[in-house]
Amino acid sequence: MSTPLFSELELGALTLPHRVAMAPLTRNRAAKGNVPHDLNVKYYRQRASAALIITEATQVAPKEQGYPRTPGTHSDAQVEGWSDVTDAVHEAGGRIFLQLWHVGRISHSSYHDGERPVAPSAIAPEGEVLTPTMEMVPFETPRALTTEEVRAVVEQYRQGAENARHAGFDGVEIHAANGYLIDQFLRSGTNERTDRYGGSLENRLRFLQEVTDAATGEWDADRVGVRFSPLSVFNDMHDDHPAETFAAAAGVANDFDLAYTHHVESAEPKPPVAEKGEAATVFGGMREAFDGAVVANGNYDADTATDALERGYADLIAFGRAFLANPDLPRRLREGLPINVPDEDTFYQGGETGYVDYPTWDDLQNGAAHETLHALHELTPRG
């Protein structure tokens, strides 16, 4: 029987066998030099039955990280490490995009040889950051990038996109969500610039435009996606007019004919955002502004995912925590099987534990021990 969740999708240049994608998930398990290694190869290979894997956020430049042991895509060793990952995923029949990342102000001087992190404007986020020596310390006030420096950062994204090509990825996702650098330029709460990158909405969009232009210089546009989180307050984010800002941001994706826009919704339980309130306006407006495929993410289960696809609200659903804990998630959803519970204590640490030791359904039938839930919607929403 064909259900919307298990029907094919033409996503830009790719044909996906179904609609259960793996959302990007930072796992802090790169080797020395922030190089992907065998452990990461194993993790991604295990999840190759995803319609599309979007990798964990991956820094495009050496210092532009804000968490320990996150992988990069700027050194030869990293490109080699990622090549092993893409080979493994392809051998297992999967498809994989690299998520291009620059954290901006969500960092600390200990990642920058003592210099302050950079951002569109010198506005410190509320909260704390984890240093490379695993201490939680308050965020510092970042230094505003000069106009010239912004151009240099665009070049870093271009290089990252080129390196992703050398590493054998099927495409790239521009990370414009969750309060990192591009989002900091987009939203009014973090961008008080007076040059061509700030002030008016048109100017706040310019950095996204230039990064997208750089990425589509390295890749055909039908292999490039972009991720937005218009209503998320994570990383102390705020925008005065999210419906307007993000319809215009989706319009940028449309101008470049990107393969997809990826929408991070709230972690609130569904029924979903599509139906009412500010979220309906914001996500509806983004859908209207973009002619390509929409990937929806945020606390979906099989029923709400099917509903979103049937109503034309989205074309592909990305699952984060559920994919983290269930390497064979598409099968579990297709067959209505219970799922493994994600262990939050090992999201960002733990080596092999909580990373490559989640059992498949077959492992469970063969006696592997794991506590299972009866339905995906019982997952605790993320704070």
Ligand X SMILES: Cc1cc2nc3c(=O)[nH]c(=O)nc-3n(C[C@H](O)[C@H](O)[C@H](O)COP(=O)(O)O)c2cc1C
Known catalytic residues are: 180
The residues near 51 (Cβ < 8 Å, ≥ 6 apart) are 9, 16, 17, 18, 19, 20, 21, 95, 316, 330
Name which of 207 and 319 has its Cβ closer to ligand X.
319
Q: What is the smallest separation between the CB atom of 300 and ligand X, expressed in angstroms?
A: 6
Name which of 248 and 325 has its Cβ closer to ligand X.
325
Name which of 95 and 270 has its Cβ closer to ligand X.
270
Name which of 220 and 344 has its Cβ closer to ligand X.
344
Name which of 178 and 245 has its Cβ closer to ligand X.
178
Q: What is the smallest separation between the CB atom of 330 and ligand X, expressed in angstroms?
A: 14
Residues of this chain that bind ligand X (CB under 6 A): 23-26, 56-57, 99, 175, 177-178, 227, 264, 267, 297-299, 319-322, 347, 382
Q: What is the smallest separation between the CB atom of 132 and ligand X, expressed in angstroms?
A: 18
Closest residue to ligand X, judged by C-beta, is 320
Q: What is the smallest separation between the CB atom of 46 and ligand X, expressed in angstroms?
A: 16
Q: What is the smallest separation between the CB atom of 326 and ligand X, expressed in angstroms?
A: 11
